[in-house]
Amino acid sequence: MIIAMDYDDTFSKDPDGWAHVARAMAGRGHKIIGCTMRYPDETDGMSTLYGEVCEQVHFSSRVAKRDYLASKGVVPDVWIDDRPDFIVSSARDLRQEQEEFERMEKSQSEASREYTRGKLTI
């Protein structure tokens, strides 16, 4: 299996623990790769253990991880990630969805207020 392991809030939460898991699975013939949404120049503070236990580390630069890795010809069998939504959606897409939702909620609440005001004046 190819196992893609996230860094932030996954590996970073327990580097020794995940390194142990990664080495155990690598020892069984599986390929462990790192995949983070960070930009390649955002390595400050990253544990060096991550690079040691992952055969490759991919920086998707906020692009959805599955699409990013597919563009590199890498198709993981298993994902270890605290944010599965970032596997299929880019950070930008999710932000736009959130803004759209908030805009819709605001306009519905304004419409509701108008309706209520209308009822009160009748």
Listed ranges 53-61, 74-82, 95-103, 113-121: which one lies at the site for Mg ion (CB under 5 A):
74-82
CA angle 79, 80, 82 (to 5 degrees): 120
Among 3, 4, 6, 53, binds Mg ion (CB under 5 A): 6
* 9 scored as a contact of Mg ion (CB under 5 A): yes
Place of tokens 């860094």: 7
If binding is defined by CB under 5 A, does position 77 make contact with Mg ion?
no
- Cα dihedral 38, 42, 47, 48, rounded to 10, equals 110
| Alpha carbon distance 65, 88 (integer Å) | 7
Shortest reach from residue 114's CB to Mg ion, in Å: 42
7 or 25: CB nearest Mg ion: 7
Residues at the interface with Mg ion (CB under 5 A): 6, 8-10, 82-83
